[in-house]
Structure 1
Amino acid sequence: MERKKLVLVCDFVENILLDGLESLGYSVVYQPQITMPEVFELAEKLSGIVINTRTPVRANLMQKAVNLKWIARLGSGLDIIDLDSAKEHGIKVLNSPEGNANAVAEHVLGMLLNLLRNISKADCEIRSGKWEREANRGRELSAMKIGIIGFGNTGSAFAKVLNGFGCNVLVYDKYKQHYASDFRFVRELNSMEEVLKESDVVSLHLPLTTETFELVNAGFLSLCKKGSIIVNSSRGKMLVVKDLLNSIQMNHIKGACLDVFPNEKINSLSKGEKEDFEELKKNQCVLLSPHIAGWTFESKIKISEILIDKIKSVSE
């Protein structure tokens, strides 16, 4: 009898994914809290691996995983996988950006509304006995221009949730043309610079690549409209935190909504990272969340459903 092919699942997933893998004939090792040394111990036996951010798959792991046929990424970001090495070894790379796009869009909208209407600030004040109305007068989305950089799964999902607010939506995607034809309320612009100059809010919806690494730096921010808000729910290393803080301090950028950070291990920050993080925490014009934009019960199910379909297609 032929031994079943082994798949390692390195994060918490829905049963639909585990059951689906078994129905495809795989033997599943479900270890959502596995360490990297333990992954290396199993590597040689693996036909497939299901990963999330805490389990990157680099060239050294692929070299050891001589039987590996596919890598399935829970979510979207492929920056945790050495794509060149995967191609060299003939390993299929799968991800599921469709699964959490709506979750990200709703979270970005929630953060933006929170910041514009001073909700978290007012909540803290009223709990401490302050009743401030005029100081918390907010702004309405309907009067604003919202700029979206990147119009893939999450960028287009964010545009959809904005539709009912009556705001102007401006978009730019370097690698697409006529991509917003199904969105009559969206205006495609010819350059990122145009979006930055016109928008009251700039929301990033891009993968982390060598091209987008530290994209949001002093030069980028200087091109933004005075008083604008920066939203980053993509990858923390796209934004230079110190440059953002300087721009806010100079009253050029009004504020920011940040769900992602250059270093998300907050207990092991460098001295400079700690200083920047403390400044972010103190600033009432900055709203923070711990990389949870795509983290919903619904997206967890959808990601599992999408991935099992893609795994099935490469397992036949």
Structure 2
Amino acid sequence: MEPKKVLICDSIDSEGIDQLKQAGIKVDVNATISQAQLEKVVSNYDALIVRSRTKVTKEIIEAGTRLKAIGRAGVGLDNIDVNTAKKRGITILNTPKASAYAVAELTIGLMLSLTRNIPLADKTMKEGKWIKKGWKGWQLRDKTLGIIGFGGIGRIVGKIGHLAFNMNLLAYDPFITAETVENLGGRLVSLETILKESDVVTMHIPLLAATRHMIG
């Protein structure tokens, strides 16, 4: 039987490539492949693995006559035409937990950076200016944190904010129960309440037609 063939279209860790090969899968790697090139060669493969650079469009999926699966080494699926893939019976896979803690930590870092004016302080310090009072900022402790999208990443951000900074936690997510938020010490509220009552708002949702321009 001919081995299954996978095309990896973006850079991934070599350990992942080795695991595929050990499973008897023929792996081709082209981390710089263009959309036009991919559309030409996709019919030779049973599966694609992408990150965020490669866009798996309707045209590419329709050209992939052998495609059985599309794997996204990451969380979001906004670079894959999921509807077309489903119509073709192609399985869509992603790794929602792989980077959850890293993204949550970055979110907290950005919150601290903004509230303590770290980028501006760094810039002016390098210019030889000591503007201590001008970049005073404000602390996160006891403030209200509003989270739009209370999935894996949103929950970790909420947990860190609540436990590390004693922040009051508000969450908006139409797909979860109030109990889910209450278990982390917060409240499930409306989007309007989030925007009215929060000192800091963070969004952890996919870019879809329903979420585009949700704020602004």
Question: SS state of the match for residue 49, structure 1?
Answer: strand
Question: SS state of the match for residue 135, structure 1?
Answer: coil
8 Å contact kept, 2:21–2:27: yes
Q: For residues 2 and 76 of structure 2, what CA distance do their matches in structure 1 show?
A: 33
Runs (5+) with no aligned partner, structure 1: 218-316
Runs (5+) with no aligned partner, structure 2: none
Matched with 1:11 is 10
Question: SS state of the match for residue 158, structure 2?
Answer: helix
Letter of the aligned partner of 2:180 in structure 1? Answer: Y
Letter of the aligned partner of 1:42 in structure 2? Answer: V
How far 1:16 sits from its partner (Å)? 2.0
Q: For residues 80 and 38 of structure 1, what CA distance do their matches in structure 2 show?
A: 17
Q: For residues 28 and 98 of structure 2, what CA distance do their matches in structure 1 show?
A: 23
Q: For residues 38 and 183 of structure 2, what CA distance do their matches in structure 1 show?
A: 44
TM-score (norm 1): 0.65
Q: For residues 61 and 134 of structure 2, what CA distance do their matches in structure 1 show?
A: 56
How far 1:143 sits from its partner (Å)? 3.2
Matched with 1:176 is 176
Matched with 1:196 is 195
Question: SS state of the match for residue 98, structure 1?
Answer: coil
Matched with 2:148 is 149
Deviations 1:160-199 (A, max 9, x none): 221211111111111111222431x22222x111111110
Moved over 3 A (4+): none
Question: SS state of the match for residue 93, structure 1?
Answer: strand
Q: For residues 181 and 95 of structure 1, what CA distance do their matches in structure 2 show?
A: 28
Question: SS state of the match for residue 141, structure 1?
Answer: coil
Matched with 1:123 is 122
Letter of the aligned partner of 1:104 in structure 2? Answer: V
Q: For residues 181 and 169 of structure 1, what CA distance do their matches in structure 2 show?
A: 9
Matched with 2:32 is 33
Deviations 1:180-226 (A, max 9, x none): 2431x22222x111111110111111111111011111xxxxxxxxx
Q: For residues 24 and 103 of structure 1, what CA distance do their matches in structure 2 show?
A: 29
Deviations 1:23-79 (A, max 9, x none): 222100011112222212221111000012221112211111111000001111111
The one of the two structures with greater contact order (alpha-carbon pairs below 8 A, sep at least 6) is 1
Letter of the aligned partner of 2:83 in structure 1? Answer: D
Question: SS state of the match for residue 49, structure 2?
Answer: strand
Question: SS state of the match for residue 99, structure 2?
Answer: helix
Q: For residues 62 and 123 of structure 1, what CA distance do their matches in structure 2 show?
A: 47
Asked if 1:107 corresponds to 2:110, the answer is: no
Letter of the aligned partner of 1:209 in structure 2? Answer: L
Count matched residues. Answer: 214
Q: For residues 6 and 41 of structure 1, what CA distance do their matches in structure 2 show?
A: 15
TM-score (norm 2): 0.94
Question: SS state of the match for residue 47, structure 2?
Answer: strand
Q: For residues 87 and 119 of structure 1, what CA distance do their matches in structure 2 show?
A: 45
Question: SS state of the match for residue 8, structure 1?
Answer: strand
8 Å contact kept, 2:182–2:188: no
Matched with 2:204 is 205
Q: For residues 13 and 53 of structure 1, what CA distance do their matches in structure 2 show?
A: 11
Question: SS state of the match for residue 27, structure 2?
Answer: strand
Question: SS state of the match for residue 180, structure 2?
Answer: coil
Q: For residues 173 and 56 of structure 1, what CA distance do their matches in structure 2 show?
A: 27
Q: For residues 208 and 27 of structure 2, what CA distance do their matches in structure 1 show?
A: 32
Q: For residues 113 and 66 of structure 1, what CA distance do their matches in structure 2 show?
A: 49
Letter of the aligned partner of 2:138 in structure 1? Answer: R
Letter of the aligned partner of 2:34 in structure 1? Answer: T
Q: For residues 74 and 150 of structure 1, what CA distance do their matches in structure 2 show?
A: 21
Asked if 1:81 corresponds to 2:75, the answer is: no
Q: Which has the higher helix share?
A: 1
Identity %: 35
